[in-house]
Amino acid sequence: MIRFENVTKRYRGTKRPALAGVDFEVQRGEFVFLVGASGSGKSSCLRLILREDVPTTGRVAVLGRDLRSLANRKVPYFRRHIGSVFQDFRLLSSKTVFQNVAFTLQVTGSSRGFVQQAVPEALALVGLEGKEKRMPHELSGGEQQRVAIARALVNRPQVLLADEPTGNLDPATSVDIMQLLARINAGGTTVLMATHEAAFVDQMQRRVIELKNGEMVRDETHGGYGDRSMIPQLAPEQERGAAATAALTAVQEVQRQTESLQPLTADMIASMKAARDAQPPAEPATPRTHPVLLPEVDVAELGVADRLGLSAADDDEEVGPTS
């Protein structure tokens, strides 16, 4: 179905090749994840499969055709057998949902009858029945991506290429799109999906081809995402400089308040000193205390045990320090 044979791709002005000696084959009906960090070569693979580029060296064969020897005039006909879905939807904003899906058929010269039959079938497959007359701006992001998938499938292609199809969607909508792609694959369509969504790759356990710096480093059946070292991890950090900022704010507030005060002159200081000297000396304050009333006790009647708090009457009470 799709075969890469020792494929190397170099772009002008770059020192490192986008792809270097890549070899793999995708069989009919497979669901394959293409994973790797940004710049690892995933998009270059998809461009070669769509015949948007040709390899510098090596061979790319799709649907039994060597794409290097495919004439440019035959490329549009070749692409009718390959559907493609992208991260940014690429819908025509001035056309309805029906017209967006039908556009692919119209440019390939399909009959009016076939368009009227195929478009509703594709929209039903992606769950958009009844929304044929909606405009793209009236749809949610997930619905717009479903329109893009319907447009890719309306020609009933044998291969579906998906380049980060959930990249602009929220988690719940992304799950819906992945379930839709799984159903499409179950219907016999070969799906090759480039993605950074590690959770989906781990959960679905399909075949995984991993690229790193243009080289294929892993081809695993029922694999997971693999190396996550290139995925940045968020960690809480303490806010730096908070105490210094608070102190600076306090100093600025004091400065603002003191700017309105008049400076002390020599006359003002002398007047304040004379007023202080004219006051009579204050008498020392006598401490105010409350009288302590002691009960009358016959000391002779107290025994040693009473003075120590150890009388027989207190045997059941807790013994503690006395004052």
CB 159 within 8 A of CB 96: no
pLDDT of 308 reads 46
pLDDT of 293 reads 58
CB 147 within 8 A of CB 97: yes
The full set of domain ranges for the chain reads: 1-81+157-224, 93-156
pLDDT of 167 reads 85
CB 26 within 8 A of CB 2: yes
| Element of type H or E holding 272 | helix 266-278
pLDDT of 237 reads 54
Please report, for residues 19, 81, 82, the alpha-carbon distance to residue 75 in angstroms, rounded to integers and kept in the order given.
22, 11, 11
Residue 12 tokens, joined: 């002008």
DSSP string, 68-121: GGS-GGGHHHHHTTEEEE-TT----TTS-HHHHHHHHHHHTT--HHHHHHHHHH
pLDDT of 276 reads 72
Measured N-to-C along each axis, helices 141-153 and 112-125 cross at an angle, to the nearest 10 degrees, of 130
Q: What is the CATH number of domain 1-81+157-224?
A: 3.40.50.300
Rounded Cα distance between 158 and 190, Å, is: 6
Going by C-alpha positions, the residue among 65, 70, 34, 40 that lies closest to residue 52 is 70
Question: The pTM is what?
Answer: 0.68
How many Cβ atoms are within 10 Å of 46's Cβ, its own excluded?
Answer: 21
Q: Which residues contact 205 (CB under 8 A, 6 or more apart)?
A: 222, 223, 224
pLDDT of 322 reads 47
pLDDT tens digit sequence for 236-271: 555 556 666 666 777 677 667 666 666 666 777 777
CB 157 within 8 A of CB 192: no
Going residue by residue through the chain, which has 323 residues, state the pLDDT in tens, using 9 for 90 and above: 999 999 999 999 888 999 999 999 999 999 999 999 988 999 999 999 999 999 999 999 999 999 999 999 999 889 989 999 988 888 999 999 999 999 989 888 889 999 999 999 999 999 999 999 999 999 999 999 999 999 999 989 999 999 999 888 888 888 999 999 999 999 999 999 999 888 889 999 999 999 999 999 999 998 787 665 555 554 555 555 666 666 677 767 766 766 666 666 677 777 777 777 777 666 665 655 556 555 555 545 545 445 445 455 555 555 445 44
Residue 43 tokens, joined: 């998009």
How many Cβ atoms are within 10 Å of 155's Cβ, its own excluded?
Answer: 18
Residue 182 tokens, joined: 């799984």
pLDDT of 97 reads 95
Dihedral pair phi/psi, residue 134, rounded to 5°: -70, 150
Going by C-alpha positions, the residue among 139, 148, 137 that lies closest to residue 104 is 148
